């Protein structure tokens, strides 16, 4: 099977160049996409940059893919990480519009077009902290977090972000308790299938560290999360015509003395690491996909190198 591991899709949609070290890292991660192929290979995969194939271990009995460099585009492929034409479906401002129609947008969330608009919005904003995000980005990149008015280096950073990315999405920064995700697919006929939710492992700033399929998400959280994912997918399909895999990011946050669910943080209209985690569960029985130092019982998927990039499942 021929695969297109275009994990640089968000940067292409945003019209920006990623640093060489980031391109190298995501090219290694892209090789994991072979787990999502419906058979055991052999597979060929096109990735953004050349990588050392010796770091891609035989994944517990299924062969590592043959890796090619894609350049600006891959040849005709059977399965892609992201449809290169899905730019509008992955726009965070479109996600916010869908969240507003569903009544699940965070209070104060909005699209910001200029510094003057952000200054005016912050003058009325009552939350303790906030974050501005580029409309196309991944893995916690291209965002700025602040508290109070826009001053000093933060003002300079957001000035540069507006110049580089155009309008940004503003959200209140909440006290997150847990991060979750839902994988699903919009079929060619418009039918929508949604998996059970999974846990996302993140650092304190929301940076992505891995996926956990166990323990099961409590039904009091899973049920509204699945319902929101299905409704969001319906609106995504109607607004953009998108068909294919998607993933919804969500989180539970502390609201005073109680916990509350924000069921629609982002829509990723593409494959995601949640899809890879589910594929590894099907192939190997693994229940966790991790990035960083592997525990003793783990299967190493990407051997660590000088760049400290690694991946494992257990």
Q: Which CATH number do you get for residue 120? A: 3.30.1490
Q: Which of 210, 209, 194, 215 is nearest to 263 (CA)?
A: 194
pLDDT at 32: 94
Q: Do the domain assignments include residue 13?
A: yes
Placement of tokens 């021929």 in the chain:
2
How far apart are the C-alpha atoms of 124 and 118, rounded to whole Å? 10
Same domain, 144 and 157: yes
Lookup: tokens for 189: 């006929």
Same domain, 179 and 253: yes
Same domain, 6 and 49: yes
Lookup: tokens for 164: 């580089």
pLDDT at 137: 84
Last residue in a domain, options 137, 172, 207: 172
Last residue in a domain, options 130, 152, 172: 172
Confidence of residue 58 (pLDDT cuts 50, 70, 90): low
Q: Do the domain assignments include residue 70?
A: yes
pLDDT mean over 169-178: 94
Confidence of residue 308 (pLDDT cuts 50, 70, 90): confident
Q: Which of 183, 223, 220 is nearest to 200 (CA)?
A: 183
Are residues 213 and 181 in contact, defined by beta-carbon separation less than 8 angstroms?
no
Q: Do the domain assignments include residue 88?
A: no
Which range is least confidently modeled, 12-16, 38-42, 118-122, 219-223?
38-42
Same domain, 196 and 236: yes
Confidence of residue 200 (pLDDT cuts 50, 70, 90): very high
Which range is least confidently modeled, 21-35, 157-171, 193-207, 270-284?
193-207
Classify the C-alpha dihedral 284-286-292-293 as positive or negative: negative
pLDDT at 60: 63
- Check pLDDT > 80 for residue 57: no
Same domain, 264 and 287: no
Same domain, 282 and 261: no
Are residues 194 and 167 in contact, defined by beta-carbon separation less than 8 angstroms?
no
How far apart are the C-alpha atoms of 273 and 51, rounded to whole Å? 19
Same domain, 249 and 263: yes
pLDDT mean over 183-198: 97
Give every CB contact of residue 33 below 8 A, 6+ residues apart in sequence. 3, 5, 45, 79, 81, 271, 276
Same domain, 263 and 183: yes
Q: Do the domain assignments include residue 146?
A: yes
Confidence of residue 293 (pLDDT cuts 50, 70, 90): confident
Q: Do the domain assignments include residue 101?
A: no
How far apart are the C-alpha atoms of 29 and 11, rounded to whole Å? 16
Range of the domain at 297: 2-82+273-313
Domain harbouring 209, CATH code: 3.30.470.20
Same domain, 13 and 39: yes
DSSP H stretches of helix in the chain: 9-14, 20-30, 92-102, 115-124, 152-165, 219-240, 273-284
How far apart are the C-alpha atoms of 53 and 63, rounded to whole Å? 12
Confidence of residue 185 (pLDDT cuts 50, 70, 90): very high
Average pLDDT, the chain: 93
Same domain, 21 and 64: yes
Q: Do the domain assignments include residue 100?
A: no
- Check pLDDT > 90 for residue 74: no
Give every CB contact of residue 111 below 8 A, 6+ residues apart in sequence. 93, 96, 167, 168, 169, 170
Same domain, 218 and 180: yes
Are residues 248 and 264 in contact, defined by beta-carbon separation less than 8 angstroms?
yes
Lookup: tokens for 70: 């894609």
Q: Do the domain assignments include residue 263?
A: yes
Which range is least confidently modeled, 64-73, 78-87, 194-203, 229-238?
64-73
pLDDT mean over 17-44: 91
Are residues 232 and 267 in contact, defined by beta-carbon separation less than 8 angstroms?
yes
Number of domain units in the chain = 3
Last residue in a domain, options 172, 197, 229: 172
Q: Read off φ and ψ for residue 242, nearest 5 degrees.
A: -65, 140
- Check pLDDT > 80 for residue 162: yes
Same domain, 129 and 152: yes
Q: Do the domain assignments include residue 92?
A: no
């Amino acid at each position: 099977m021929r695969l297109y591991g275009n994990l640089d899709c968000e940067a292409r949609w945003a019209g920006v160049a990623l640093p060489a070290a980031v391109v190298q890292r995501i090219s290694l991660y892209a090789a994991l996409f072979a787990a999502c192929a419906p058979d055991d290979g052999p597979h060929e995969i096109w990735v953004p940059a050349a990588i050392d194939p010796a770091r891609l271990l035989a994944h517990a009995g299924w062969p590592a893919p043959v890796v090619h460099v894609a350049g600006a585009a891959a040849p005709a492929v059977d399965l892609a990480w992201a449809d290169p034409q899905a730019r509008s479906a992955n726009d965070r401002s479109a996600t916010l519009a869908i969240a507003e129609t569903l009544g699940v947008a965070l209070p104060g969330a909005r699209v910001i077009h200029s510094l003057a608009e952000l200054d005016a919005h912050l003058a009325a904003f009552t939350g303790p902290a906030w974050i501005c995000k580029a409309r196309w980005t991944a893995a916690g990149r291209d965002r700025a977090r602040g508290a109070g008015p826009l001053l000093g280096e933060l003002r300079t950073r957001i000035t540069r972000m507006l110049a580089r990315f155009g309008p940004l999405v503003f959200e209140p920064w909440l006290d997150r308790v847990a991060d979750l995700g839902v994988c699903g697919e919009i079929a060619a006929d418009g039918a929508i299938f949604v998996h059970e939710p999974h846990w996302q492992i993140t650092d304190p700033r929301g940076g992505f560290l891995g996926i956990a399929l166990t323990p099961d998400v409590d039904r009091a959280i899973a049920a509204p999360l699945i319902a929101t994912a299905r409704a969001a997918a319906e609106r995504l399909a109607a607004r953009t015509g998108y068909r294919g895999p998607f993933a919804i990011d969500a989180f539970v946050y502390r609201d005073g003395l109680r916990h509350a669910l924000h069921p629609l943080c982002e829509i990723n209209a593409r494959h995601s690491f949640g899809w890879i985690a589910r594929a590894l569960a099907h192939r190997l029985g693994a229940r966790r996909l991790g990035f960083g130092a592997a525990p003793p019982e783990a299967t190493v998927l990407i051997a660590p190198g000088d760049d400290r990039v690694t991946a494992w499942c257990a």
